């Protein structure tokens, strides 16, 4: 995820960020690469673009043109591309900003979508990245902050014409990209849920390791981040369905309604994840209470055993001259015998009551 504020450091003021030039402040300083994939019903071509002086001349009018951009650390190139296709400066700033911004903006000739993608890294820690899309009449630009393979299966799908991609226009291709990004997030939620199954087994076996508690709280923060981002996306998605610039054909609206259903399903899965986390935390706390109760019960049993023994010791420890037991030859042995009989009898009583 993006760098969190270190303890003792000052947060950058929003006003100063707004007034300054766009600066990439993320953690993924990877080179910016551009791949141009264009296709129609009959053919498909793929090429890498090294210069970003102009991308519009690369667009073939009768084809669907997909510019796949990976890496946003090169602010100059990203800004030039966004400006060329008509994005306002504040949208470019939000694209490069460390703030968690989700938006769907409809311009006269383009539609801009900014959202977050979530995935688990090699250490099973949640990472997020900026995902952005620009939809035009016959082109789609996708921008992602990291090289995570979100859309790597799509070129093969275009080649094989799976789900009739090559028979449809750019608006349908945008739906395909959005569905792929949602699949990545849904898979992330499922992986977290699978990891919680192992945690549940450990907790049911009363393995209350402090690391389990840390892991549960960490996943709860994951849930909060994903839920906030997905709710914001669904709220902003209404702007796309309104389709004021008519870049989405009437025949394609059904696909975007389907994507809205996918968003609702992902949100439902997140709610289920939250319920699972809450129940696991309850189990953890209940286990702690059970362990503490067991400890208190054992201590209570020990104390109860020693109450009559302490009473006898107190009686025999009084300094009276006339106390037959102290003068008797077998008094000491008798005292120990009484102690053992009382202690064993008390233990037997507790055992019979199944109090331990």
* Domain limits, the chain: 14-287, 295-352
Q: What is the pLDDT of residue 111?
A: 95
Architecture of the domain whose range is 14-287 = 2-Layer Sandwich (3.30)
- Residue with token string 């996918």: 262
Domain 295-352 CATH assignment equals 1.10.260.40? no
pLDDT tens series, the chain, 356 aa: 444 433 333 334 444 445 456 667 667 788 889 999 999 998 999 999 887 667 888 999 889 999 999 998 888 889 899 999 999 988 988 888 766 789 999 999 999 999 999 999 888 889 888 899 999 999 999 999 998 999 999 999 999 988 889 999 999 999 999 999 999 999 999 999 988 888 888 887 777 677 888 888 888 989 999 999 999 999 999 888 888 889 999 989 999 999 999 999 999 999 999 999 988 888 888 888 877 888 888 888 888 888 888 888 888 777 777 777 777 778 888 888 888 998 888 888 878 877 76
Which of 254, 260, 255 has the alpha carbon at shortest distance from 238?
A: 260
Q: What is the pLDDT of residue 212?
A: 84
Q: What is the pLDDT of residue 334?
A: 83
Which residues are CB-contacts of 241 (< 8 A; sequence separation ≥ 6)?
A: 253, 256, 257, 260
Domain 14-287 and domain 295-352 have a common topology: no
Q: What is the pLDDT of residue 74?
A: 87
DSSP 182: H
Quick check: 233 and 259 in contact, CB under 8 A? no
The pTM of this model reads: 0.78
Separation CA 114–CA 131 (nearest Å): 6
Which residues are CB-contacts of 288 (< 8 A; sequence separation ≥ 6)?
A: 208
Q: What is the pLDDT of residue 98?
A: 66
Collapsing DSSP to helix, strand or coil, 38 comes out as strand
Within 222-318, strands assigned E span none
Q: What is the pLDDT of residue 6?
A: 36
Quick check: 16 and 9 in contact, CB under 8 A? no
């Amino acid at each position: 995820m993006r760098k969190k504020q270190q303890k003792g450091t000052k947060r950058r003021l929003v006003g100063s960020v707004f007034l300054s030039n766009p600066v990439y402040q993320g953690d993924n300083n990877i080179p910016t690469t551009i791949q141009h994939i264009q296709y129609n019903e009959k053919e498909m071509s793929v090429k890498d673009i090294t210069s970003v002086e102009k991308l519009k001349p690369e667009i073939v009018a009768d084809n669907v043109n997909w510019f796949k951009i990976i890496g946003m650390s090169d602010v100059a190139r990203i800004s030039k591309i966004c400006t060329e296709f008509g994005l306002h400066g504040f949208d470019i700033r939000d694209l490069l900003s460390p703030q968690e911004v989700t938006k769907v903006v409809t311009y006269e000739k383009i539609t801009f979508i900014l959202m977050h993608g979530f995935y688990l890294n090699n250490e099973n820690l949640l990472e997020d990245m900026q995902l952005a899309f620009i939809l035009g009449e016959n082109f789609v630009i996708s921008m992602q902050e990291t090289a995570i393979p979100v859309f790597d299966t799509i070129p093969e799908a275009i080649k094989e014409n799976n789900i009739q991609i090559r028979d449809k226009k750019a608006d349908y291709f945008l739906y395909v990209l959005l569905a792929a990004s949602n699949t990545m997030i849904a898979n992330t939620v499922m992986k977290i849920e699978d990891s919680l199954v192992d945690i549940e087994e450990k907790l049911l076996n009363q393995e209350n390791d402090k690391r389990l508690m840390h892991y549960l709280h960490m996943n709860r923060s994951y849930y909060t981040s994903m839920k906030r981002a997905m709710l914001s996306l669904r709220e902003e998605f209404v702007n796309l369905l309104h389709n004021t610039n008519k870049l989405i054909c009437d025949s394609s609206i059904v696909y975007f309604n389907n994507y809205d259903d996918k968003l609702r399903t992902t949100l439902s899965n997140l709610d289920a994840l939250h319920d699972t986390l809450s129940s696991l935390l309850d189990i953890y706390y209940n286990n702690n209470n059970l362990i503490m109760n067991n400890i208190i019960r054992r201590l209570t049993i020990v104390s109860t055993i020693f109450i009559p023994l302490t009473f006898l010791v107190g009686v025999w420890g009084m300094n009276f001259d006339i106390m037959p037991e102290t003068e008797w030859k077998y008094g000491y042995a008798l005292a120990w015998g009484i102690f053992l009989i009382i202690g064993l009898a008390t233990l037997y009583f507790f055992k019979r009551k199944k109090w331990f």
